[in-house]
Amino acid sequence: MTKAVLLVGHGSRRSEANKALFELQNYVQLLRPQEYVKVSFMEAAEPDVATAISELNSQGKTEITVVPVFLYNGIHITEDLPAILDAVKAKHPQLNIKLAAVLGIDQRLAEIVWERVDAAF
């Protein structure tokens, strides 16, 4: 299989915070066990996006969908991530890298908000 999904999180100096993205990776992987899912971070944690893509390339993954695990299109999404991906594409022109939309605000999140509210009392 030459395809891979790369989940991109912000990253934190607190390793406990970064574990959340690895937990999401497990959930995503469970839904499609035949797919390959990897984690990377924009800052403060490893692997960074460019390193993760290089690792995927060395594993023979040539079609990579990058999924930003963010709620909105901030600077990391509109400027930083596209610049990183452009640099990686220049270094690895054989790769087909697509940037998916951020997870964003989705109506399904409203249910989770109310679950959290109910659990708080």
Clarify whether 10 is annotated catalytic.
Answer: yes
% of the chain beyond a pLDDT of 90: 98
Chain center to CA of 26: 12
pLDDT above 80: residue 1: no
Selecting among 10, 63, 92, 99, the annotated active-site residue is: 10
3-state secondary structure of 105: coil
Q: How many CB atoms lie within 10 A of CB 49?
A: 22
Average pLDDT, stretch 86-93?
A: 96
* pTM across the whole model: 0.94
Domain-wise residue ranges, the chain: 3-120
Fold of 3-120: Rossmann fold (3.40.50)
